[in-house]
Every structure is written in C-alpha cells, then in structure tokens.
Structure 1
Amino acid sequence: MQLKLAKIISIITTVPMFALFTILFIHKNTFIFNDVKWLYFCIIFLTLIPISSYFIQNFIPSIKAQGREGERKLAFIFGVLSYILGTILAFYLNAPYKIKIIFLSYLLSSIVLTFINKVIKIKASGHACGVSGPLTFTFRFIGYKTLIFSIALPLTWWARLKMNRHTSKELVIGTFVGIFSTLAVLIILNG
C-alpha cells in the first residue's frame, strides 16, 4: 500500500505535472495571467512538451530498450529544450515579468541539475528540484497561501526514498538546486 502511494506521489510530482499544478495554483491566486494566452503558454512549455517525452519514447526503440533510464534521459532532454524555447519566446514576445521569472527559474535549475548529474556525477533529484523551485517562486508571488502547497516537498522526499529512487543526499541537493536557482533569478531580476 505504501509503495503504491509512493508511486502516485512520484507521478504527481514529476516536473511537468507539478508545473501544471503550480501554474494553475498561481492562476487561481494571482493576476499574473491577466491575458489567458500566458496561462496556455506556460502549460504548453512547462507541461505538455516535457510530458510528451513519456509518449514519444515508445516510438524510439533505442530509448525504449534502455527502460527507465532511457525514459528519464528523454524526459530531461525534452524538459531542457522546452525551457530553452519557452524562455526565448517569453522574452521575444515580451511576456509579463513574472512569467519570465518562472521560465528562467526552470531553465537555470535544469542547467544546474545537468551540471551536477553529468559533471559532478551525483544523481540530484529532479523531483525535489521540480517541487522546491516552484514553491519558492510561488511563495514570492502569493505569500502565505503557498504554505499548504508546501506539503508536496516532504511527500516527494518520502515517495522517492520509499521507492529507492534517491538517497537523502540526492534529495537535499535537488531541493537546494530548485530553491537557489529560483532565488538567483529573483535577485538578478529584482523580483
């Protein structure tokens, strides 16, 4: 029963799924999406494109043959490419300031995670990063209402540990990457 619950939590807290919940939570509690096109823009580039990798991997035999590791790599590639494209378009189309912060936060987090995973060779948790970063900018945009939403981070940690996907160290590193990447963007852009 606990393992089943851990799997459900892990699915809900994949980066694209948690991005969707975050965007909808922000939309419900603020006016940063004063034009609904920016809400759709965020959903496309933070959720739909990254999550499409889970379907596309079935049509790439070399990725499918790698199993979970291939799925993880393809999801990461789709996410990074979507954040790059979304960030470029957000600036080119002169998106609202807070939309630019969201995209730059996701982009910087993915760059730092790539460095840690590929260069330092530590499998920092993308789930923890994908929850802590959005919680950080959501708290900045909304304030105290975010506290109830913060239960997602300890639940993510519990699920990833229960499933033996990460160590505590990898979860701590992923959490700090999300928080500090987002804070860096907020400081640089005077958010």
Structure 2
Amino acid sequence: MNRLAKAIRSVTLAPVMAGIMLTLVYVTKPQVMGRVNSFWWGIFFLTVLPILAYPLQPYIPGYREKGREGQRGLAMVFAVAGYLMGVIANFVLKAPRGMWMIYLEYLLSGLLILLFNKCLGLRASGHACGAAGPAALLVYFRIPALIPGLIILALTWWASLRMKRHTAGQLLGGTAIPVAVILVLTLLEKITL
C-alpha cells in the first residue's frame, strides 16, 4: 500500500498537475491561451522550472545539507519564482485574460502557502494545493473536470495521510487556498468587467 501511496504522490506533484492542466486547457479550449507560445511558456514556468529544484538541490548551498526538507523548500522557491516570472511574461507578451487567471491563481496560491507555512507557522499542504488548483482552474474554464479533479484530490489526500506526510487539517488548508483564490479572482473579474 505504501508503494501505491508513494506513486500517487509522485504523479500528483504540483508541477505534474500543472502540466496536465495546461495540456487539457490547450487541447480543449485553445482560445484561453491565445497562441501556442503561451502553452510552452506555461509548461516552462509552471512545470519545468519547479521540477528543476529536485535535481539541482544537492548543488545549492543552504539546501544541499537539508535533505528531503531542503528539497521541498527549494521546490517551493523555484515554483514561486516560476509563477512570478510567468506573471511578468504575461505582462510583457500581453497575454489573454485566461493566462492571467492561470498565473495569478498559481502565484497567489503559492504566496499564501509560503505565508501560512513560513510566516504564520500554520502548515498547509502544498501537495493538496497543487492538486486542487488545477482542478479549480479547469472548472473555471468550464472544462468538465470536477469529478476527475475530486477523485485525484481524494487520492492525493489518501496517499498523504497513508504516508503520514500531512494531517487532515493541513490537507484541508492546502485544498482551500486555491479554491478561495479562484473564487476571489472570479469575483474581481466580474467587478472589473
């Protein structure tokens, strides 16, 4: 059972889920991205850059001696850096509104995870956030992903609890953050139209 839980946690890492979400959006609603370059930039900023933290961690001072904890910390730094660079690229490239929604969802969720985990000392699961955020975005774009998203989220919760990586409260916090962010962004979008 632990091998299954570990496999589930591996395929539901936030960068993997981001890549799946971007691919589904591009295939089903290409107008959201406007052009193919937006898709490739998204893959780089939301998937490739955050994943690079794992092979680079042994070479970066301040992270290499911290083992798995250092790996997770560096992954969060790389992820938020990717989200921020994505927002900057959106601005420079005059990206369509849908891409703004994607990057703002990731950036704000990432910043809130950092705030809760590093500043407030309340641990919210980045893993749950990384599974719930893409599902929330797919629902926002009216891509029928609610049921598959809930199944993936349930599997993520099960695997995390099984491996004792998070408590139910931490998973709930990590799940609530991207859902709250997408609701606020949707409300702001309606107000500004």
Q: Give the deviation of 1:145 after TM superposition.
A: 4.3
Report the residue type matching 1:121 in the other structure.
Answer: G
The C-alpha deviation readout for 1:55-83, integer Å capped at 9, x for no partner, is 11122254222111000100000011111
Deviation at 1:92, TM superposition (A): 2.1
Match of residue 6 from structure 1: 5
Aligned equivalent of 1:105:
105
Q: Distance in 1 between matches of 2:27 and 2:42?
A: 14
| Deviation of the 1:185 alpha carbon | 1.7
Q: For 1:95 and 1:175, how far apart are their aligned partners in 2?
A: 27
Could you state the TM-score of these two structures normalised by the residue count of structure 1?
0.94
Deviation at 1:34, TM superposition (A): 4.0
**2:77: which partner in 1?**
77
**Cα pair distance change 1:149/1:171, threshold 3 Å:** closer
Match of 1:22 in 2: 21
Equivalent residue number for residue 183 of structure 2: 183
Please tell me whether the aligned partners of residues 135 and 145 of structure 2 are also in contact (alpha carbons under 8 angstroms).
Answer: no
SS at match of 1:70: helix
- CA distance in structure 1 between the partners assigned to 2:49 and 2:2 by the alignment: 28
1:128-159 deviations in whole A, cap 9, x for unaligned?
11111111111010243443243110010001
Q: Does structure 2 conserve the Cα–Cα contact (< 8 Å) formed by 1:136 and 1:183?
A: no
Aligned partners of 2:21 and 2:138 also within 8 Å: yes
- 1:112-131 CA-to-partner distances (Å, cap 9, x unmatched) read 11111122212210011111
After alignment, is 130-139 or 142-151 more displaced? 142-151
The answer (yes or no) to whether the contact 2:34–2:95 under 8 Å persists in 1 is no
Matches within 5 A, 1:17-166: 17-31=16-30, 32-60=32-60, 62-166=62-166
Q: Which moved more, 1:146-155 or 1:38-47?
A: 146-155
Counterpart secondary structure, 1:28 = helix
- Sequence identity, in percent? 36
3-state SS of the aligned residue for 1:144? coil
**Equivalent residues of 1:16, 1:48 under 8 A apart:** yes
What's the secondary structure of 1:66's corresponding residue? helix
5+ residue gaps, structure 2: none
State the alpha-carbon separation in 2 of the partners of residues 183 and 133 from structure 1.
11
CA RMSD of aligned residues (A): 1.5
SS state of the match for residue 86, structure 1? helix
**Which residue identity is paired with 2:45?**
F
Normalized against structure 2, the TM-score is what?
0.93
Moved more, 30-39 or 168-177: 30-39
